[in-house]
Chain A
């Protein structure tokens, strides 16, 4: 009997934050299962954080990654040298999102593609600013650039549309793409508490960041919408094209009025193909209580309007290290399926 050897897939992770470490953990946890099920053997051969990179062509141990993260060990080389010179197949890019100039992620991704490596990223900045250029570069190099984790975290949307809904025309996508805003609006409604109070609670619980402005002003949702507009609808838009308003002005009285009339208030991102109306906007909207978009807590949700399948709604966890890593992992496996 002929047994096929598993294909070795060597991976580097750039940015050892929540998501980066989550990716390292799920690869470790799932390594055997993935080998068995998909015939690929995932090996982390390099990781990089702010100071630079450590590498081991035999695979970095959990301990080695932890020690490097806690700065007990020092870097072997610069991040860019690792991307260019260490032999591997996939660069996982999980550095912070920057919507001003996309850096450092943009340079990492360009360097990786130019070095003939596939890229899987959770970083929204480079995609929101330079989607067309990056996709062209990937195509020119015959490499994949995948980014499921950048929109909706664990909630599958990009591959759901590209793979499972293949053949459908996508008419519009509407949804809640920011868990922090959803949490705040849900708590304000349930507890009849003012915005400031709930924001503080969300910060204490680690759901909102110390500087929550990107989330509550709707900018994070806008960035994700741009990624959907460009990747799903083939539009050529950037962050500045989105009409954005956030949730800071929502009062508990308004939520109560809405409630009495059968509605909840949610921060909704909406994008369409542009043929009728060219919608690209983020705003608080009234959602009927019985609409599938009415999900609570930190959940994300999206309703995809299609020409054949009708409306499809997906709900999932938009954030969390393991949840985001789940999307990264499925992108990695997807490259070889």
Chain B
């Protein structure tokens, strides 16, 4: 998947190469590097913005390896998901495998469930959830909504999208 990442390097020559190496080591691809040599963080580090392509499973290890090399990872780009919408679900949300419902979106690679709040009034009563979907573009967001609709329809859950 494609992600963006803000990192901070110590101000020593060769740090950038050192920081980029684990990406290729883990089978990833650097798509762009924005290296602002003239900018410094208050702690004297140099901020760099990366865009890269990497397997989702590799992401955690990448962050670990960067830390080992004294690279600060300040942000992992959720903002690649530019479009968001809220939907509401009403029904037996938890007992119909909420994990799988969320997974149906997260596994697309182009959309994610970025926020979820649940309201469960009683054991055998219907619960409600507000879910924020984010996707990389408008079309993808629409598709994510379709997928979610199909998933919850099968489970007898009502879905209320925003206008």
Contacts and interface: CB of A to CB of B under 8 A. Distances in A.
Our verdict on whether A and B bind, yes or no, reads yes
Interface of A: 174, 245, 249-251, 253-254, 256-258, 260-261, 263, 265, 268, 270, 283-288, 291, 293
B156 to A, nearest CB: 10
Interface residues of B, number: 18
A238 B145 CA distance: 27
Contacts of B129: 257
B90 A288 contact: no
A256 B117 CA distance: 11
Contacts of A265: 88, 160
A288 B127 CA distance: 22
A253 B121 contact: yes
A253 B127 contact: yes
Contacts of B86: 261, 263, 286
B162 interface: yes
Residue of B87, B129, B158, B163 ringed by the most chain A CB atoms within 10 A: B163
Nearest to A245: B158
| Main SS class of interface, B | strand
Nearest to B162: A286
Nearest to A268: B163
Given A285-B162, A286-B87, A288-B162, 13 more contacts: A250-B90, A253-B121, A254-B128, A257-B88, A257-B117, A257-B128, A258-B130, A283-B160, A283-B161, A285-B161, A286-B162, A288-B163, A293-B163
Nearest to B91: A249
Interface of B: 86-88, 90-91, 117, 119, 121, 126-130, 158, 160-163
B119 A256 contact: yes
A252 to B, nearest CB: 9
Contacts of B91: 249
Contacts of A286: 86-88, 160-163
Contacts of B117: 257, 260-261
A327 to B, nearest CB: 26
Contacts of A260: 117, 130
Contact of B163 (A253, A256, A287): A287
Contacts of A284: 158, 160
Nearest to A291: B163
B162 A287 contact: yes
A58 B128 CA distance: 63
